[in-house]
């Protein structure tokens, strides 16, 4: 089990690192586009690529953000409940969220499959195959679904989820 735990934590961290790389790619695309404009050149599709990188950064960051407690969570109700009902509500929330994430991932996979099958391309100047940036959505959704299922199983078996809170969040006086 320790090996599985290390692999899952590495998966979540790796997805977070890739999300950060997507943000750096957005910065680089913007800088290259600015330089191209200053020199009178054209960089076709730069805005589309930046949009693809933004979607990649968002979807790849979901699982890492969940583990760090950065997702919005209505804890006012949970904090008002005693431990027994609080645990049941937590299990219900993680179960529902995991089911929705798996549902999304399943249909997103088929969305990407049909984009690939019909050879859909973007309507911008770059005419990139759309299944490539859409695949990042499926991968990020699958990693989020795995993370939610991981937290659900941990909550059922051990009685607590594995979400941690960053000290910055705690400093705002919740």
Residue 47 pLDDT exceeds 60: yes
In the structure, what pLDDT confidence band is assigned to residue 24 with cuts at 50, 70 and 90? very high
Which neighbouring-strand residues pair with 121?
129
Top mean-pLDDT range of 44-53, 107-116, 123-132, 150-159:
107-116
Residue 110 pLDDT exceeds 80: yes
Of 63, 88, 71, 74, nearest to 147 (Cα)?
A: 63
Residue 152 pLDDT exceeds 80: yes
Report the alpha-carbon angle 150-159-170, nearest 5: 80
The predicted model gives 103-107 an average pLDDT of 96
The set of residues, in sequence order, having a beta carbon less than 8 Å from that of 130 and lying 6+ positions away, is 115, 120, 121, 122
Burial, 158: exposed, middle or buried (Cβ in 10 Å; 0-12, 13-18, 19+)?
A: exposed
CA distance 46 to 114: 25
| 3-state SS class at 122 | coil
The length of the chain in residues reads: 174
Contact 91, 155 (CB under 8 A): yes
Residue 39 pLDDT exceeds 70: yes
Q: Which pLDDT does position 74 carry in this prediction?
A: 67
Q: Which pLDDT does position 168 carry in this prediction?
A: 53
- Report pTM: 0.84
Name the H helices within 39-158: 46-67, 75-80, 83-117, 131-158
In the structure, what pLDDT confidence band is assigned to residue 46 with cuts at 50, 70 and 90? confident
Q: What is the largest CA-CA distance in the chain?
A: 66
- If one compares 148 and 77, the residue with the highest pLDDT of the two is 148
Top mean-pLDDT range of 75-89, 97-111, 123-137:
97-111
User: For residue 138, what are its two tokens?
Assistant: 């499926």
Residue 133 pLDDT exceeds 90: no
């Amino acid at each position: 089990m320790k090996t599985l735990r290390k692999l899952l934590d590495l998966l979540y961290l790796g997805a977070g690192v890739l999300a950060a790389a997507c943000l750096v790619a957005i910065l680089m695309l913007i800088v290259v586009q600015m330089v191209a404009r200053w020199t009178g050149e054209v960089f076709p599709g730069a805005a589309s690529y930046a949009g693809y990188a933004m979607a990649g950064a968002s979807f790849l960051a979901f699982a890492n953000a969940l583990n760090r407690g950065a997702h919005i969570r209505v804890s006012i109700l949970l904090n008002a409940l005693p431990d027994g009902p609080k645990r049941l509500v937590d299990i219900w929330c993680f179960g529902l969220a995991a089911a929705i994430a798996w549902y999304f991932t399943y249909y997103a996979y088929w969305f990407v499959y049909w984009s690939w099958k019909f050879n859909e391309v973007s309507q911008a100047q770059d005419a990139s195959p759309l299944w490539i940036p859409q695949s990042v959505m499926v991968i990020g959704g699958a990693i989020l679904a795995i993370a939610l299922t991981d937290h659900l199983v941990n909550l059922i078996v051990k009685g607590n989820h594995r979400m941690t809170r960053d000290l910055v969040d705690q400093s705002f006086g919740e």
